[in-house]
Structure 1
Amino acid sequence: MVRIVALYGSPRKSGNTAMLLSRAVEGAREAGAVVDCFYLRDLKISPCLELYGCKASGRCIIEDDFHKIADAILQSRGIMLASPVFFYTVSAHTKIFMDRCQSLWVKRYWIDAVPFGSKDYPRRGFFIAAGATQGKKLFDGVLLTARYFFDAVGADLWDSLLVRGVDAEGDVLHRPQDLITAQEKGKEFARVLIESF
């Protein structure tokens, strides 16, 4: 059975990215995947304190809710991450979580000695982002951040759904095609994982 971790990175539980991710989760479940959902804003996750206690085993030594998600990621075949664009990157909740994944980077590259640049990934990632403007470079920074995050946790960026021009809570409800696309991409993501399982 294929497991997917869904990370809700919006500070609004019913925000635009949360709605898009919920539709993707629905699609993945329809395709037969088991999806574990985590709302980052509701969890107690410290920022990375650069203690480097993770050098011993690849496990962060700060004991908080981070470990629930990290353990789920290590047992998963796929990760769906959704965040609004804040100053050309992810939300603060998402960034704090990403920074704590330094411990998983240490495990992958220092402890397990995976060669840098290796494309041998045990899992895949799907990224959803929404931003208020129509700017040509709106998603440049956030996509770069997402790619490096996925690499750190042993995933390649399979695909992304990037939605411009949504800001106020519920704006995406006036964009039914984006919601349909999110659900279809969720289904496709699960199918790809199931076929490669």
Structure 2
Amino acid sequence: MIKIAAVFGSPRRKGNTSTLLDHAVAGARDAGARVTEIVLRDLKMSPCLEIYGCKKAGRCVIKDDYGNIEELFQRIDGLMLASPIFFYTVSAHTKILMDRCNSLWVKKYWIDEQPFGRKNYPRKGLFISVGSTKGKKLFDGALLSVKYFMDALDMELWQSLLFRGIETEGQILETPGSLEAAYEAGKALVETLADNDRPAGDPALPGNLQ
């Protein structure tokens, strides 16, 4: 069974990105995935303190809720991450998680000495975001952060769903096709991961039988 983590990075429990991620999770589950939901605002998680205790074994030495996430991220096949835009990047809750995953970066590149520049990762990630303005570069900073965050997880940023001009709570419900797009993206992520796991020459099975 495909295993996915869904990370809710909005300060609002019922914010626009949370609503979109709910639909993506539903799509993933309907496609047969096991989805673990992580609501960052509910966790007790320190920012990275840059003490580099992770250099010893590739694990963060700060004792808080991040420990369970660190273990989960090493077992999943895919990730769905949702965050609104704050000053052209992700929310503070999301950025704390990203920075704590420096432990996984240290393990990958310093301890295991994997080469930089790998392009084809079997693990895939979906990023969902909304921003209140409509500027051309509104999502540029967040997309760079997410791309390299996922690289630390041995994961490719597979797809992004980005919506401009969304500010007030519930406004995404007025955006035609947005919820359907999120549902279909969640479903497609699972199908893509299942295809990656299927041995060469093994045909896809119909529906949820994959």
Residue 30 of structure 1, CA deviation: 0.4
Amino acid at match of 2:69: I
Residue 112 of structure 1, CA deviation: 1.6
Residue 195 of structure 1, CA deviation: 1.5
Q: Which residue number in structure 2 is paired with residue 23 of structure 1?
A: 23
How far, CA to CA, are the matches of 2:113 and 2:8 in structure 1? 30
How far, CA to CA, are the matches of 2:112 and 2:195 in structure 1? 26
**In the TM superposition, what are the counterparts of 1:149-160 in structure 2 within 5 Å?**
149-160=149-160
Amino acid at match of 1:52: Y
**In the TM superposition, what are the counterparts of 1:131-142 in structure 2 within 5 Å?**
131-142=131-142
Q: CA RMSD in A?
A: 0.9
Moved more, 70-79 or 113-122: 113-122
Residue 122 of structure 1, CA deviation: 4.7
| Cα displacement string for residues 42-89 of structure 1 (whole angstroms, at most 9, x for unaligned residues) | 000100001101011110000100011111111001011000000000
**TM-score normalized by structure 1?**
0.97
How far, CA to CA, are the matches of 2:59 and 2:156 in structure 1? 21
Q: Secondary structure at the match of 1:6?
A: strand
Contact 2:2 2:194 in 1 (8 A): yes
Q: Which residue number in structure 1 is paired with residue 189 of structure 2?
A: 189
Q: Which residue number in structure 2 is paired with residue 130 of structure 1?
A: 130
Residue 121 of structure 1, CA deviation: 2.8
Amino acid at match of 2:54: C
Structure 1 gap segments, 5+ residues each = none
Q: Say if 2:42 is the partner of 1:42.
A: yes
How far, CA to CA, are the matches of 1:70 and 1:194 in structure 2? 23
Q: Say if 2:184 is the partner of 1:173.
A: no
| Cα displacement string for residues 87-117 of structure 1 (whole angstroms, at most 9, x for unaligned residues) | 0000000001100000000111111211011
Q: Secondary structure at the match of 1:38?
A: strand
Amino acid at match of 2:48: C
**TM-score normalized by structure 2?**
0.92
Q: Secondary structure at the match of 2:177?
A: helix
How far, CA to CA, are the matches of 2:96 and 2:2 in structure 1? 27
Amino acid at match of 2:92: A
Q: Secondary structure at the match of 1:115?
A: coil
Q: Which has the larger radius of gyration?
A: 2
| Cα displacement string for residues 121-158 of structure 1 (whole angstroms, at most 9, x for unaligned residues) | 35211100100111111111111111111111111100
Residue 35 of structure 1, CA deviation: 0.5
How far, CA to CA, are the matches of 1:83 and 1:150 in structure 2? 15
Percent identity between the aligned chains? 58
Moved more, 168-177 or 25-34: 168-177
Q: Secondary structure at the match of 2:94?
A: helix
Contact 2:108 2:114 in 1 (8 A): yes
Q: Secondary structure at the match of 1:75?
A: coil
How far, CA to CA, are the matches of 2:189 and 2:175 in structure 1? 21
Q: Which residue number in structure 2 is paired with residue 55 of structure 1?
A: 55
